[in-house]
Structure 1
Amino acid sequence: MTPAPRSPAVTVVGIGADGWPGLPGTAQDALRDAEVVIGGARQLELLPADCAAERVPWPSPLRPAVAGLLAAHRGRRLAVLASGDPMFYGIGRALAEELGPDALHVVPHASSVSYACARLGWPVEDTAVVTLVGRPAGQLSAALYDGRRLLVLSAGPDTPAEVAALLRDRGFGGTRMRVLEQLGAAGERCVEGHAGTWSEPPGDPLNVIALECRLDEGALRLSAAPGLPDEAYEHDGQLTKRHVRAATVAALAPAPGELLWDIGGGSGSIAIEWMRTHPSCRAVTVERDPVRAARIARNADGLGVPALRVVTGAAPDALAGLPVPAAVFIGGGLTVPGLLDACWDALPPGGRLVANTVTLESEALLAERYARHGGELVRLAVSHAVPVGGFTGWRQAMPVTQWSVTKAGDPT
């Protein structure tokens, strides 16, 4: 016989700024029936007196406490309160990871994004969303493009001023800002201005920031594609130049969720542009020079990928303990004993390796590996038009030899 399905262990109820009256009857019944309700202090205060359950506020930081709280109340009828839609940047994700989706019964509320788009007249499917809840503001930079509409999920009352300052610093001072507070509640209001002149005091902590991005005249324009202008980076000359960089990221072939090792980070440009291809792409860059390592971190923050992990140390020793990569880029140190072998051994079947060099010694090494493993060996040469007296001629940069290869599966 097929066993009867188990009842969900936890009911997760989304609640909005309108509180208890805004909940459907099924959600109200679940909360009244619960023996324990876990939620934020503000959310718990929204429950009426006839919800007799024990009320347990989330501690801070929240994520490490999830497993312990669930274990402490195992066997009791448990409900969890969440803001808006629990599965949209909410606690629902952590609960599903901890218990499995079959253990949850989720009763969603309209999200703040749905409310904001309804007030603004913006189609939800055409509106980009960036959350700054528990995340550095620098990640907003990767989403800034002239003419783009953005919703920023705010971390609190100070976030609008922080966003305005970042926009000014990134050359988007002309961006129209609207701060939508207490969406769906009786106290809902909208504060409007422009990033370049924003001077509003901190308002309600429950706010969403709507941006209509405008690039200032003369500001550096950044593309969504790899090959950002060289001047977008702070560097000391150790920078994979724009055209070679675009070809290198294309050879690495990033896909959502994949991890890159960038060996010999220099200015961090390859890892940064790998991560900019998709918000879920991850990278670790290894750089032995601490000054350059600090510079990589600044570049990553300024270009919208502050989650780039910078490891200060010399490869191959610094590679020990790193998570398994989907791809590896070697931009320096090819002749260091054991480096190429360590990178190759770390790759799983189907993983990609790309190595660039300008020296004959390293080129010979790549030619030997090409003969052994196959792949593609190319020489990239770029020339720039420069003045020659009263005329114009070509000045060629040093050619770059590039080996790219996909690791085959183990023979059967």
Structure 2
Amino acid sequence: SVDISSAVKINEQFQISRQFWSYLIKKDLLPEPQKFINTVPHMSFVWGEDNVAFLRRRFDALKDHPLFAGMEYSEDPAVIHAWAPTIVTGRPKSQRFAATRMAVGTDIDFGALTRDLADYLKSQGAVISTDEKVTGVSRGKDGIWTLRMRRAIGKGVSRVRARFVFVGAGGGALKILQKSGIPEARGYAGFPVSGQFLRTDDQKLVARHLAKVYGKASVGAPPMSVPHLDTRIIGGTASLMFGPYAGFTPKFLKTGSWLDLPGSIRFGNIIPLLAVFKDNLDLSWYLVTQLLASKRAKFAALREFMPDARPSDWHLITAGQRVQVIKKDAKRGGILQFGTEVVTGAEGTIAGLLGASPGASTAVPIMLELMERCFPDRIAEWTPALRAMVPSYGKALSSAPALAQKTLDSTARVLELNLPA
């Protein structure tokens, strides 16, 4: 059997985000949806007898699930060519391959969405400070937190006092939580992994591929290494990206310090760190092979997906840093976690988000979880308003087919996306 629990969980979380964005659109709090979300079919694509058999079993497990209604499967080269010509053209006729397709998949420009959300907040009086680094976090006897910040330009220092602090600093979140001194942050460590992608902006090539096509991670490779060839629409312009190619750097942010990793080591997290390195030699070997991979080897990986790809059409870009969560484990000493983790102080006055995957598409359910954990005495009062924003709040779409269909249909109409089958 094939375990589909992770796919179902992520899809369920994404539907919560879709409902929230739909609410903002209907309230005219966001501009037209095409600015940040567009229909781009999602596909899985594999080749080889064993992988084809696996994908067939996965399709059989997903096809009747309410959140995956309308999923298609094919081993017919002509059908797959119609879905995504670039992954079939030039492939050996003797090669057996298969694909699944969800026509209702999406591509999201999270940069555009973030700017629109920030503009709305500023219109309501919120102050957004940029180019500032948090250098200290402390809690006074009155229970109020003081954040000390240093400006990147001019090096001026400022302070902000707050009753509640959320640390959503990406790779920088761990260090800020450590500065706060909350015991709940002890035992956590971070393992930074850099990412690179091959990208093309050739519009003739882009026009031949409208899909996000996911492959299958090689044996021993971590989940984040699943190769994918994606249509990306950023700022209204489409491009294609293939990757990721992983690498290692001790920096927690692209513009961070080479001392980020060693500087985050504490007495409380040294054992989890050592345990993870001992138990994840396959990950270490994967990173070594990725670091040593030549340009030719990286391009060969793309050609497994797009056989007729030409090096002159593509260039290598460096993406962001993923800081994977390392946490204490009673049995193994420490474990490497490939998801996200919400860390909250005992009194609910500070919280932070650690980890990288599955990323921004699940931001809304993560914030709902944070509200439930940090404000348990107020969540009942807020529930009617939350249900107005997210109608399925508190319910599992995965076990309610009628509600799932209604939710998928309504959000697709508001966000101007393909309607589910």
Same fold (TM over 0.5): no
More helix by proportion, 1 or 2? 2
TM, length-normalised to structure 1: 0.20
TM, length-normalised to structure 2: 0.19
